[in-house]
């Protein structure tokens, strides 16, 4: 997708992997990501997606939460292990608050279903939060996928460092 004022998409030419069980959902995600300039491959199974992640890690992973015996969070975890900078988007019905929190803890964007083209593209291009004070610097971006641009989310690395620091201090105290 080229914007006359903005120029070509910064994602143009990057690889994306779409994992969705239903064909109509997979085709919608494929066409939306292709319109953003990504080179998309897709599958409907966890096993095939995992094999593709291991063989050729893409720049973007978009997965449904429900994938049979496994779920999209398992793929997000594999993706983070293989390529930490990979953009990961997880889609699920809106009422999955716990899974949303788990996805965000992995550094993935959570996009509630039914997904719109605008929500998916907004998740690809998160808007940074302007740093106004030290507390604002802890925030990494907006939850654009949720359609609410006023809610910031904490950085995964900062939260992980806080947990590691806590465990280290607790171990030293005992």
Per-residue pLDDT tens over the stretch 97-135: 888 888 888 889 999 988 999 999 888 876 443 444 333
Number of residues written out for the chain: 174
Q: Which residues fall within 8 angstroms of residue 129, CB to CB, at 6 or more apart?
A: 136, 139, 140, 141, 142, 152
Domain CATH code at residue 46: 3.40.50.2300
Quote the pTM value: 0.69
Residue pair 104/145 in contact by the 8 Å Cβ criterion: no
Give the model's pLDDT for residue 159. Answer: 47
The answer on pLDDT for 76 being more than 70 is: yes
- Strands 70-71 and 39-43, bridge-based pairing: unpaired
Give the model's pLDDT for residue 69. Answer: 85
Full residue range of the structural domain in which residue 88 is found:
2-173
Per-residue pLDDT tens over the stretch 25-45: 999 999 999 998 899 999 999
Mean predicted confidence (pLDDT) in 40-59: 95
Mean pLDDT for the chain overall? 77
- Give the phi and the psi of residue 109 in degrees, each rounded to 5: -85, 135
H or E element, residue 64:
strand 60-64
> What domain count does the chain have?
1
């Amino acid at each position: 997708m080229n914007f006359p004022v903005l120029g070509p998409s910064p994602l143009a030419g990057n690889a994306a992997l779409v994992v969705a069980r239903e064909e109509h959902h997979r085709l919608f995600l494929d066409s939306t990501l292709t319109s953003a300039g990504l080179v998309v491959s897709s599958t409907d199974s966890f096993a095939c997606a995992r094999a593709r992640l291991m063989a050729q890690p893409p720049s973007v992973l978009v997965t449904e939460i429900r994938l049979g015996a496994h779920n999209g969070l398992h793929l997000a975890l594999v993706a983070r292990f293989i390529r930490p900078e990979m953009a990961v988007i997880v889609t699920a019905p809106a009422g999955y608050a716990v899974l949303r929190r788990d996805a965000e803890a992995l550094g993935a964007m959570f996009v509630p279903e039914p997904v719109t083209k605008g929500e998916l593209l907004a998740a690809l291009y998160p808007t940074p939060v302007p740093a106004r004070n030290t507390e604002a610097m802890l925030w990494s971006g907006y939850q654009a996928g949720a359609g609410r641009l006023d809610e910031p989310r904490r950085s995964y690395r900062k939260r992980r460092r806080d947990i590691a620091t806590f465990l280290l201090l607790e171990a030293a105290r005992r």
